[in-house]
Amino acid sequence: MSETVEQAAVWWGTYPEAGLGTPTGTGEGLWRQSAADAKQVLELPAPSFMVPHPSLPLIYAASEEEYSVLHVLDVSDPDSPRIVGSVGTRSAGACHVLLAPDARTLYVSHYTSGTLVVVSVGEDGHFLSDEPTQVFGHEGSGPRTDRQDAPHAHFAGLGPGGHHVLVADLGTDELRRYALRPDGLLDDHGVAATLPGGSGPRHFVVDGSMLYVACELTGAVATLRWDGASGTAEVIAQVPATTALPRTADENYPSHILLHAGTVLVGVRGADVIAVHDLSPEGELRYRNAIDAGHWPRHFAVIEDRVHVGAERGHEVRTLALADVLSVAPESQVGEIVNLPHASAPLPSPAFVMAPVPAH
Protein backbone atom coordinates (compact mmCIF):
# COMPACT_ATOMS: atom_id res chain seq x y z
CA MET A 1 0.00 0.00 0.00
CA SER A 2 1.27 3.45 -0.84
CA GLU A 3 1.38 6.07 1.88
CA THR A 4 1.97 8.87 -0.62
CA VAL A 5 -1.67 9.33 -1.65
CA GLU A 6 -2.91 12.04 0.69
CA GLN A 7 -6.64 11.98 1.46
CA ALA A 8 -8.78 15.12 1.56
CA ALA A 9 -11.56 15.51 4.12
CA VAL A 10 -14.73 13.91 2.77
CA TRP A 11 -18.12 12.80 4.09
CA TRP A 12 -19.30 9.18 4.15
CA GLY A 13 -22.71 7.67 4.79
CA THR A 14 -22.80 4.08 6.03
CA TYR A 15 -25.12 1.10 6.17
CA PRO A 16 -25.43 -0.97 9.36
CA GLU A 17 -22.17 -2.81 9.97
CA ALA A 18 -23.95 -6.12 9.38
CA GLY A 19 -24.77 -4.94 5.86
CA LEU A 20 -27.55 -3.75 3.57
CA GLY A 21 -30.87 -5.38 4.41
CA THR A 22 -30.15 -5.80 8.12
CA PRO A 23 -31.97 -3.72 10.78
CA THR A 24 -31.15 -0.01 10.61
CA GLY A 25 -30.47 2.33 13.51
CA THR A 26 -27.75 0.09 14.92
CA GLY A 27 -24.99 2.69 15.11
CA GLU A 28 -24.45 3.57 11.45
CA GLY A 29 -24.50 7.16 10.23
CA LEU A 30 -22.41 10.06 9.00
CA TRP A 31 -18.61 9.89 9.02
CA ARG A 32 -15.96 12.49 8.27
CA GLN A 33 -12.61 11.36 6.87
CA SER A 34 -9.49 13.48 7.06
CA ALA A 35 -6.03 12.21 6.10
CA ALA A 36 -6.07 8.45 6.73
CA ASP A 37 -8.49 8.58 9.65
CA ALA A 38 -12.29 8.43 9.63
CA LYS A 39 -14.51 9.24 12.59
CA GLN A 40 -18.24 9.06 13.07
CA VAL A 41 -19.81 12.45 13.75
CA LEU A 42 -23.54 11.58 13.75
CA GLU A 43 -25.65 8.46 14.22
CA LEU A 44 -28.34 8.28 11.53
CA PRO A 45 -30.27 5.29 10.15
CA ALA A 46 -28.67 4.10 6.89
CA PRO A 47 -27.79 7.41 5.15
CA SER A 48 -27.17 5.71 1.80
CA PHE A 49 -27.18 8.88 -0.33
CA MET A 50 -26.48 12.55 0.39
CA VAL A 51 -26.25 15.80 -1.50
CA PRO A 52 -24.89 19.18 -0.33
CA HIS A 53 -26.61 22.54 -0.60
CA PRO A 54 -24.56 24.62 -3.07
CA SER A 55 -24.26 27.74 -0.91
CA LEU A 56 -25.24 26.84 2.66
CA PRO A 57 -23.59 24.51 5.21
CA LEU A 58 -26.34 21.93 4.80
CA ILE A 59 -26.45 18.31 3.67
CA TYR A 60 -29.57 16.44 2.58
CA ALA A 61 -29.38 12.77 3.60
CA ALA A 62 -31.77 9.93 2.76
CA SER A 63 -32.26 7.20 5.35
CA GLU A 64 -32.83 3.96 3.39
CA GLU A 65 -35.47 2.32 5.54
CA GLU A 66 -38.85 0.64 5.18
CA TYR A 67 -40.35 4.01 6.10
CA SER A 68 -37.75 6.25 4.56
CA VAL A 69 -36.91 9.72 5.82
CA LEU A 70 -35.12 12.65 4.17
CA HIS A 71 -33.09 14.76 6.59
CA VAL A 72 -31.46 18.15 6.37
CA LEU A 73 -28.24 18.34 8.38
CA ASP A 74 -26.53 21.50 9.58
CA VAL A 75 -22.78 20.93 9.20
CA SER A 76 -21.58 24.44 10.05
CA ASP A 77 -19.60 22.66 12.76
CA PRO A 78 -18.33 19.65 10.80
CA ASP A 79 -17.38 17.81 13.97
CA SER A 80 -20.91 18.12 15.40
CA PRO A 81 -23.56 17.96 12.64
CA ARG A 82 -27.18 18.46 13.69
CA ILE A 83 -30.46 17.21 12.22
CA VAL A 84 -32.50 20.39 11.68
CA GLY A 85 -35.38 19.00 9.66
CA SER A 86 -36.89 15.71 8.49
CA VAL A 87 -39.54 14.63 6.02
CA GLY A 88 -41.06 11.17 5.91
CA THR A 89 -41.18 10.23 2.23
CA ARG A 90 -44.20 7.86 2.46
CA SER A 91 -42.07 5.40 0.52
CA ALA A 92 -39.62 2.54 1.11
CA GLY A 93 -35.93 2.16 0.34
CA ALA A 94 -34.74 5.70 -0.41
CA CYS A 95 -31.50 5.19 -2.33
CA HIS A 96 -30.76 8.37 -4.33
CA VAL A 97 -31.26 12.14 -3.98
CA LEU A 98 -31.12 14.74 -6.77
CA LEU A 99 -31.08 18.46 -5.95
CA ALA A 100 -32.48 20.82 -8.59
CA PRO A 101 -29.98 23.34 -10.02
CA ASP A 102 -31.72 26.21 -8.18
CA ALA A 103 -31.59 24.22 -4.89
CA ARG A 104 -35.34 24.61 -4.33
CA THR A 105 -36.45 21.02 -5.00
CA LEU A 106 -35.23 17.54 -4.10
CA TYR A 107 -36.09 14.38 -6.02
CA VAL A 108 -35.77 11.14 -4.02
CA SER A 109 -35.70 7.72 -5.70
CA HIS A 110 -36.91 4.68 -3.75
CA TYR A 111 -35.77 1.20 -4.66
CA THR A 112 -38.24 -0.86 -2.65
CA SER A 113 -41.45 1.01 -3.42
CA GLY A 114 -40.34 2.19 -6.87
CA THR A 115 -41.54 5.71 -6.16
CA LEU A 116 -40.10 9.12 -6.97
CA VAL A 117 -40.75 11.68 -4.25
CA VAL A 118 -40.53 15.46 -4.64
CA VAL A 119 -39.66 17.65 -1.61
CA SER A 120 -39.75 21.45 -1.77
CA VAL A 121 -37.03 23.58 -0.16
CA GLY A 122 -37.05 27.23 0.93
CA GLU A 123 -34.44 29.90 0.32
CA ASP A 124 -32.94 29.05 3.73
CA GLY A 125 -32.36 25.48 2.58
CA HIS A 126 -34.95 24.02 4.96
CA PHE A 127 -37.96 21.95 3.99
CA LEU A 128 -41.14 23.92 3.30
CA SER A 129 -43.31 21.16 4.76
CA ASP A 130 -43.02 18.01 6.84
CA GLU A 131 -44.73 16.13 3.99
CA PRO A 132 -43.61 15.41 0.43
CA THR A 133 -44.88 17.82 -2.22
CA GLN A 134 -45.43 15.05 -4.79
CA VAL A 135 -45.22 11.25 -4.83
CA PHE A 136 -45.07 9.39 -8.16
CA GLY A 137 -45.68 5.67 -8.30
CA HIS A 138 -45.17 3.37 -11.26
CA GLU A 139 -46.24 -0.04 -12.53
CA GLY A 140 -44.47 -2.82 -14.36
CA SER A 141 -41.96 -5.62 -13.99
CA GLY A 142 -39.15 -7.34 -15.87
CA PRO A 143 -38.08 -10.87 -16.82
CA ARG A 144 -35.71 -11.34 -13.85
CA THR A 145 -38.27 -12.54 -11.34
CA ASP A 146 -35.74 -12.46 -8.51
CA ARG A 147 -35.03 -8.74 -8.97
CA GLN A 148 -37.72 -7.34 -11.28
CA ASP A 149 -41.02 -8.26 -9.68
CA ALA A 150 -42.02 -4.59 -9.46
CA PRO A 151 -40.69 -1.08 -10.19
CA HIS A 152 -37.41 -0.24 -8.46
CA ALA A 153 -36.45 3.42 -8.93
CA HIS A 154 -32.70 3.58 -8.33
CA PHE A 155 -31.48 6.95 -9.64
CA ALA A 156 -32.82 10.28 -10.92
CA GLY A 157 -30.92 12.71 -13.12
CA LEU A 158 -31.59 15.57 -15.48
CA GLY A 159 -32.03 14.48 -19.08
CA PRO A 160 -30.20 16.10 -22.00
CA GLY A 161 -31.26 19.72 -22.29
CA GLY A 162 -32.37 19.85 -18.64
CA HIS A 163 -36.12 19.78 -19.35
CA HIS A 164 -36.86 16.41 -17.78
CA VAL A 165 -36.01 14.38 -14.71
CA LEU A 166 -35.25 10.83 -15.84
CA VAL A 167 -35.50 7.90 -13.43
CA ALA A 168 -33.55 4.68 -13.93
CA ASP A 169 -36.00 1.93 -13.00
CA LEU A 170 -34.10 -1.31 -12.36
CA GLY A 171 -37.33 -3.28 -12.00
CA THR A 172 -38.99 -2.35 -15.30
CA ASP A 173 -35.95 -1.81 -17.57
CA GLU A 174 -37.09 1.75 -18.25
CA LEU A 175 -35.97 5.35 -18.03
CA ARG A 176 -39.08 7.04 -16.70
CA ARG A 177 -39.66 10.65 -17.80
CA TYR A 178 -40.98 13.59 -15.79
CA ALA A 179 -41.30 17.07 -17.28
CA LEU A 180 -39.91 19.89 -15.13
CA ARG A 181 -42.20 22.79 -14.30
CA PRO A 182 -40.72 26.25 -13.62
CA ASP A 183 -41.41 25.77 -9.89
CA GLY A 184 -39.46 22.49 -9.80
CA LEU A 185 -42.51 20.27 -9.57
CA LEU A 186 -43.00 17.48 -12.07
CA ASP A 187 -45.51 16.16 -14.58
CA ASP A 188 -45.45 12.44 -15.36
CA HIS A 189 -44.70 12.11 -19.07
CA GLY A 190 -44.41 8.34 -19.22
CA VAL A 191 -41.35 6.45 -20.41
CA ALA A 192 -38.39 7.97 -22.27
CA ALA A 193 -36.62 4.70 -23.08
CA THR A 194 -37.01 0.96 -22.71
CA LEU A 195 -33.86 -1.10 -22.39
CA PRO A 196 -33.53 -4.79 -23.33
CA GLY A 197 -35.38 -7.07 -20.93
CA GLY A 198 -33.40 -7.96 -17.83
CA SER A 199 -30.97 -5.02 -18.15
CA GLY A 200 -31.71 -3.55 -14.73
CA PRO A 201 -30.73 0.11 -15.33
CA ARG A 202 -29.22 1.46 -12.11
CA HIS A 203 -27.36 4.76 -12.71
CA PHE A 204 -26.61 6.91 -15.76
CA VAL A 205 -24.54 9.85 -16.93
CA VAL A 206 -25.28 12.33 -19.71
CA ASP A 207 -22.83 13.68 -22.29
CA GLY A 208 -24.49 15.95 -24.85
CA SER A 209 -27.18 13.87 -26.55
CA MET A 210 -25.78 10.59 -25.23
CA LEU A 211 -26.70 8.69 -22.09
CA TYR A 212 -24.51 5.95 -20.62
CA VAL A 213 -26.47 3.60 -18.38
CA ALA A 214 -24.96 1.17 -15.88
CA CYS A 215 -27.09 -1.98 -16.17
CA GLU A 216 -26.81 -3.91 -12.92
CA LEU A 217 -28.42 -7.17 -14.01
CA THR A 218 -26.58 -7.76 -17.29
CA GLY A 219 -23.21 -6.36 -16.20
CA ALA A 220 -23.24 -3.98 -19.16
CA VAL A 221 -23.12 -0.29 -20.00
CA ALA A 222 -25.77 0.74 -22.51
CA THR A 223 -25.36 3.77 -24.77
CA LEU A 224 -28.55 5.65 -25.64
CA ARG A 225 -29.03 8.53 -28.07
CA TRP A 226 -31.49 11.23 -26.98
CA ASP A 227 -34.01 12.81 -29.35
CA GLY A 228 -34.92 16.24 -28.02
CA ALA A 229 -38.02 16.67 -30.18
CA SER A 230 -39.75 13.57 -28.81
CA GLY A 231 -38.09 13.43 -25.40
CA THR A 232 -37.12 9.81 -25.96
CA ALA A 233 -33.90 7.82 -26.13
CA GLU A 234 -32.88 4.80 -28.17
CA VAL A 235 -30.36 2.11 -27.24
CA ILE A 236 -27.61 2.16 -29.89
CA ALA A 237 -24.90 0.05 -28.24
CA GLN A 238 -24.07 -2.16 -25.27
CA VAL A 239 -20.67 -3.23 -23.97
CA PRO A 240 -19.59 -5.23 -20.90
CA ALA A 241 -18.79 -2.94 -17.99
CA THR A 242 -15.50 -4.82 -17.61
CA THR A 243 -13.68 -7.80 -19.07
CA ALA A 244 -12.55 -8.78 -15.56
CA LEU A 245 -14.23 -11.92 -14.26
CA PRO A 246 -16.25 -11.92 -11.02
CA ARG A 247 -14.14 -12.57 -7.94
CA THR A 248 -16.59 -12.28 -5.04
CA ALA A 249 -19.94 -13.12 -6.68
CA ASP A 250 -21.38 -15.31 -9.41
CA GLU A 251 -21.91 -12.30 -11.70
CA ASN A 252 -20.68 -8.75 -12.20
CA TYR A 253 -23.01 -6.02 -10.95
CA PRO A 254 -22.25 -2.46 -12.14
CA SER A 255 -22.98 0.11 -9.46
CA HIS A 256 -22.09 3.78 -9.91
CA ILE A 257 -21.02 5.44 -13.18
CA LEU A 258 -19.17 8.75 -13.65
CA LEU A 259 -18.02 10.83 -16.60
CA HIS A 260 -14.77 12.76 -16.17
CA ALA A 261 -12.48 14.34 -18.76
CA GLY A 262 -13.75 12.21 -21.63
CA THR A 263 -13.47 9.04 -19.57
CA VAL A 264 -16.34 6.92 -18.25
CA LEU A 265 -15.63 5.21 -14.92
CA VAL A 266 -17.84 2.35 -13.75
CA GLY A 267 -17.85 0.64 -10.37
CA VAL A 268 -18.35 -3.11 -10.79
CA ARG A 269 -19.15 -5.35 -7.84
CA GLY A 270 -18.21 -9.00 -8.25
CA ALA A 271 -15.07 -8.19 -10.21
CA ASP A 272 -14.63 -5.48 -7.52
CA VAL A 273 -13.07 -2.94 -9.84
CA ILE A 274 -13.38 0.54 -11.23
CA ALA A 275 -13.58 -0.01 -14.99
CA VAL A 276 -12.11 2.68 -17.25
CA HIS A 277 -13.70 3.41 -20.64
CA ASP A 278 -12.65 6.09 -23.12
CA LEU A 279 -15.13 8.00 -25.27
CA SER A 280 -14.57 8.29 -29.00
CA PRO A 281 -15.48 11.60 -30.70
CA GLU A 282 -18.69 9.87 -31.83
CA GLY A 283 -19.58 8.88 -28.28
CA GLU A 284 -18.57 5.21 -28.55
CA LEU A 285 -17.31 3.54 -25.39
CA ARG A 286 -13.87 1.95 -25.74
CA TYR A 287 -12.84 -0.26 -22.84
CA ARG A 288 -9.35 0.35 -21.46
CA ASN A 289 -8.72 -1.49 -18.18
CA ALA A 290 -9.93 -2.28 -14.66
CA ILE A 291 -8.53 -1.08 -11.33
CA ASP A 292 -8.80 -3.03 -8.08
CA ALA A 293 -11.32 -1.17 -5.90
CA GLY A 294 -11.70 -3.31 -2.78
CA HIS A 295 -14.52 -5.69 -1.91
CA TRP A 296 -17.87 -4.55 -3.37
CA PRO A 297 -17.36 -0.95 -4.57
CA ARG A 298 -20.85 0.43 -4.10
CA HIS A 299 -20.11 4.13 -4.65
CA PHE A 300 -17.19 6.30 -5.63
CA ALA A 301 -16.56 9.95 -6.44
CA VAL A 302 -13.98 12.17 -8.07
CA ILE A 303 -13.16 14.92 -5.55
CA GLU A 304 -10.54 17.40 -6.68
CA ASP A 305 -7.53 15.29 -7.71
CA ARG A 306 -8.56 12.10 -5.95
CA VAL A 307 -10.92 9.17 -6.52
CA HIS A 308 -12.62 8.00 -3.32
CA VAL A 309 -14.11 4.49 -3.32
CA GLY A 310 -16.37 2.88 -0.73
CA ALA A 311 -15.78 -0.88 -0.56
CA GLU A 312 -19.05 -1.75 1.15
CA ARG A 313 -18.44 -5.40 2.06
CA GLY A 314 -14.73 -4.88 2.62
CA HIS A 315 -15.53 -2.28 5.31
CA GLU A 316 -12.86 -0.09 3.76
CA VAL A 317 -12.55 3.23 1.94
CA ARG A 318 -9.82 3.76 -0.62
CA THR A 319 -8.32 6.88 -2.13
CA LEU A 320 -6.46 6.86 -5.43
CA ALA A 321 -4.77 9.66 -7.33
CA LEU A 322 -7.06 10.76 -10.17
CA ALA A 323 -4.06 11.12 -12.49
CA ASP A 324 -3.16 7.46 -11.89
CA VAL A 325 -6.70 6.33 -12.69
CA LEU A 326 -6.99 8.43 -15.86
CA SER A 327 -3.59 7.33 -17.14
CA VAL A 328 -3.94 3.60 -16.51
CA ALA A 329 -2.56 1.64 -19.47
CA PRO A 330 -4.77 -0.46 -21.76
CA GLU A 331 -5.16 -4.03 -20.53
CA SER A 332 -2.27 -6.25 -21.54
CA GLN A 333 -4.51 -9.31 -21.48
CA VAL A 334 -8.27 -9.76 -21.40
CA GLY A 335 -9.59 -9.60 -17.86
CA GLU A 336 -6.58 -7.82 -16.36
CA ILE A 337 -7.00 -6.06 -13.01
CA VAL A 338 -4.48 -3.33 -12.16
CA ASN A 339 -3.42 -2.51 -8.60
CA LEU A 340 -2.71 1.21 -8.23
CA PRO A 341 -1.12 2.95 -5.23
CA HIS A 342 -3.82 3.98 -2.79
CA ALA A 343 -4.47 5.02 0.77
CA SER A 344 -6.89 2.99 2.84
CA ALA A 345 -8.93 3.46 6.00
CA PRO A 346 -11.33 1.11 7.81
CA LEU A 347 -15.01 2.11 7.72
CA PRO A 348 -18.01 -0.13 8.42
CA SER A 349 -20.22 -0.71 5.33
CA PRO A 350 -19.55 2.53 3.40
CA ALA A 351 -22.53 3.34 1.15
CA PHE A 352 -21.84 6.86 -0.18
CA VAL A 353 -19.06 9.43 -0.41
CA MET A 354 -19.46 13.18 -0.81
CA ALA A 355 -17.10 16.14 -1.20
CA PRO A 356 -16.44 18.49 1.72
CA VAL A 357 -19.02 21.20 2.21
CA PRO A 358 -17.33 24.61 1.75
CA ALA A 359 -17.08 26.81 4.80
CA HIS A 360 -19.54 29.72 4.97
pLDDT digits 0-9 by tens, 111-135? 999 999 999 999 999 999 999 999 9
- Supply the mean pLDDT for the chain: 95
Q: What is the pLDDT of residue 360?
A: 58
If you average pLDDT over residues 219-223, what whole number do you get? 98
Q: What is the pLDDT of residue 349?
A: 97
Q: What is the pLDDT of residue 221?
A: 98
Q: What is the pLDDT of residue 9?
A: 80
Quick one: which of 285, 289, 254 has its CA closest to 270?
254
If you average pLDDT over residues 162-182, what whole number do you get? 98
**φ, ψ for residue 110, nearest 5 deg:** -125, 120
Q: What is the pLDDT of residue 357?
A: 79
pLDDT digits (tens, 9 = 90+) for 139-157: 999 999 999 999 999 999 9
pLDDT digits (tens, 9 = 90+) for 245-266: 999 999 999 999 999 999 999 9
Q: Is the pLDDT of residue 4 over 70?
A: no
Strands 47-52, 58-63: pairing is antiparallel
Q: What is the pLDDT of residue 21?
A: 87
Q: Is the pLDDT of residue 103 over 60?
A: yes
Q: What is the pLDDT of residue 36?
A: 62
Please tell me the pTM assigned to this model: 0.96
Start-to-end Cα distance in the chain: 36
From residue 97, alpha-carbon distances to 57, 63, 117, 190, 214 in Å are: 17, 11, 10, 20, 17
From residue 6, alpha-carbon distances to 288, 295, 299, 305, 306 in Å are: 26, 21, 20, 10, 9
Domain range annotation of the chain: 1-44+241-360
Q: Is the pLDDT of residue 331 over 90?
A: yes
Q: Is the dihedral of CA 195, 94, 217, 325 positive or negative?
A: positive
Q: What is the pLDDT of residue 186?
A: 98
If you average pLDDT over residues 214-226, what whole number do you get? 98
Q: Is the pLDDT of residue 165 over 50?
A: yes
If you average pLDDT over residues 183-187, what whole number do you get? 97
- Read off the DSSP letter of residue 9: P
Q: What is the pLDDT of residue 358?
A: 67
**Rounded CA separation 269/359 (Å):** 35
**Rounded CA separation 243/250 (Å):** 14
pLDDT digits (tens, 9 = 90+) for 53-91: 999 999 999 999 999 999 999 999 999 999 999 999 999
In 216-349, DSSP assigns E strands to 220-227, 232-240, 253-260, 263-269, 273-279, 285-292, 297-303, 306-311, 316-321, 342-346
Q: Is the pLDDT of residue 1 over 60?
A: no
Q: What is the pLDDT of residue 8?
A: 55
Q: Is the pLDDT of residue 11 over 60?
A: yes
